[in-house]
Amino acid sequence: MKLSVAIDGPAGAGKSTIAKIIGEKFNLMYINTGAMYRAVTLKAMDANITEKDVDKLINLIESLEMHFVEDRLFVNNEDLTDMINMPTISNNVSKYAAVAEIREILVKLQQNIAKKFNVIMDGRDIGTVVLTDATFKFYLTASNDKRAKRRYDELISKGLDVDYNTILNDIIKRDYIDTHREINPLTKADDAIEIDSSSMSINTVVESIATYINSNTKNN
Ligand code: DC
């Protein structure tokens, strides 16, 4: 049976951590779609292409071969995972992710992967656009403070010198752009199950998603 799981939600809600674990549990290929938007942002910034220069952006994306090895993103065979998670990329990615032409190309790519494999995808528009027929859809949220604290801890653990309030403000700004853009804004799909992870551990969230998938798969 073909199985696909969509996980959407705002920045720092824990989507990628949870998606990776659920993917392993259910033998699903994990596709971190945010990483794909981040990779385009990194490559565009490296080439001094702004979000307004759409023709150059299209040419750029067409020159990029992206694939995942577990949860790491390789672009033209280079592992860009660490670079794309740097704060400069986080602060610029929403501008590039709002470009319709970029979204069109990446959404097609994501849909093609899901045609071939059983996947778990996380992002902003998976349940609403990319995999409207996903077997399971979840919408993961958490309070602004919790999300900022998680990002802060993550960056500190990587040895970066970051300020909590700056991260909180950046997250709020990014959410605003992601939820207010014209094309495919972040929104909960009507048929997605919402989970507020503010006061839940990773394990508790994983357990509740896994229990839901197991009980609904057996009943089908
Ligand atoms: O999940 P993330 O923080 O790595 O995502 C980075 C950015 O990419 C996020 O600010 C919005 C954008 N994005 C998107 O627009 N659509 C997706 N499916 C995934 C991410």
Ligand 1 nearest atom to the CA of residue 181, by list position:
15
pTM: 0.94
The CATH code of the domain that includes 180 is 3.40.50.300
Summarised one tens digit per residue, pLDDT across range 153-165 is 988 998 989 999 9
Residue 217 in domain: no
The residue whose CA is least distant from atom 2 of ligand 1 is 34
What is the CA(151)–ligand 1 centre distance, in A? 15
Residue 220 in domain: no
Residue 209 in domain: no
Rounded Cα distance, 71 and 63, in Å:
22
**At a CB cut-off of 8 Å and minimum separation 6, what does 190 contact?**
none
Torsion of CA 142, 148, 151, 154, to 10 degrees: -100
**At a CB cut-off of 8 Å and minimum separation 6, what does 149 contact?**
164
- pLDDT level of residue 1 (50, 70, 90 thresholds): confident
Residue 102 in domain: yes
Average pLDDT, the chain: 94
- pLDDT level of residue 218 (50, 70, 90 thresholds): low
Rounded Cα distance, 169 and 91, in Å:
10
What is the CA(117)–ligand 1 centre distance, in A? 22
Ligand 1 within 6 A of 178 CB? yes
Torsion of CA 104, 109, 115, 118, to 10 degrees: -120
Summarised one tens digit per residue, pLDDT across range 4-48 is 999 999 998 999 999 999 999 999 999 999 999 999 999 999 999
**Which residues span the domain enclosing 175?**
4-196
Ligand 1 within 6 A of 37 CB? yes
Residue 70 in domain: yes
Cα 58 off chain centre by: 21
Ligand 1 nearest atom to the CA of residue 85, by list position:
4
Residue 211 in domain: no
Describe the chain by its helix, strand, coil percentages, rounded to 5. 55, 15, 30
The residue whose CA is least distant from atom 13 of ligand 1 is 34
In the chain, how many domains are there? 1
- Say whether 56 sits in a helix, a strand or coil: helix
Summarised one tens digit per residue, pLDDT across range 182-200 is 999 999 999 999 999 999 9
Ligand 1 within 6 A of 125 CB? yes
Residue 108 in domain: yes
Residue 49 pLDDT greater than 70, yes or no: yes
- Say whether 42 sits in a helix, a strand or coil: helix
Residue 219 pLDDT greater than 90, yes or no: no
Residue 203 in domain: no
**The two three-digit tokens of residue 197, written as one number:** 């992870």
Rounded Cα distance, 40 and 102, in Å:
8
